[in-house]
Amino acid sequence: MDRATAEATNWEPLRLGISWSSVEDDLGTALPEDYKKLAETFGKGEFSEFLHVFTVDGTRQFDLARIWKKYLGGAPEDGPDPLFKPYQMYRPGRHGLIPWAFGEMECNYFWLASAKENPMRWPIVTQGDPYPWRQVSMSTSEFVYRVLTDPEFEPFSIARLFPEPDFYPMD
Nearest-angstrom CA–CA distance, 122 and 114: 7
Peptide bond connecting 86 to the previous residue in cis, omega within 30 degrees of 0 = yes
Predicted confidence at residue 130, as pLDDT, reads 65
Please give the C-alpha separations between residue 95 and each of 17, 62, 79, 123, 125, in angstroms, as whole numbers: 29, 23, 11, 12, 13
Least confident window among 41-55, 64-78, 114-128, 139-153: 64-78
- Residue, of 160 and 84, whose pLDDT is higher: 160
Mean pLDDT of 141-151: 96
Helix, coil or strand: residue 108: strand
Decide if 26 contacts 33 (C-beta within 8 A). no
Decide if 83 contacts 72 (C-beta within 8 A). no
pLDDT tens-digit map of 70-86: 988 888 888 778 888 88
Q: Which residues pair with 97 in a beta bridge?
A: 89, 112
14-32: buried (b, 16+ CB within 10 Å) or exposed (e) per residue? eeeeeebeebeeebebbbb
Least confident window among 2-11, 12-21, 75-84: 75-84
Q: What are phi and psi of 63, to 5 degrees?
A: -85, 120
Nearest-angstrom CA–CA distance, 10 and 28: 35
The chain-wide mean pLDDT, for the chain, equals 90
Query: Residue 118 — very low, low, confident or very high, per pLDDT cuts 50/70/90?
Result: very high
Cα of 33 vs its chain's centroid, Å: 12
Nearest-angstrom CA–CA distance, 82 and 76: 9
Which are the contacts of 143, defined by CB distance < 8 A and separation ≥ 6?
109, 124, 136, 156
Query: Residue 1 — very low, low, confident or very high, per pLDDT cuts 50/70/90?
Result: low
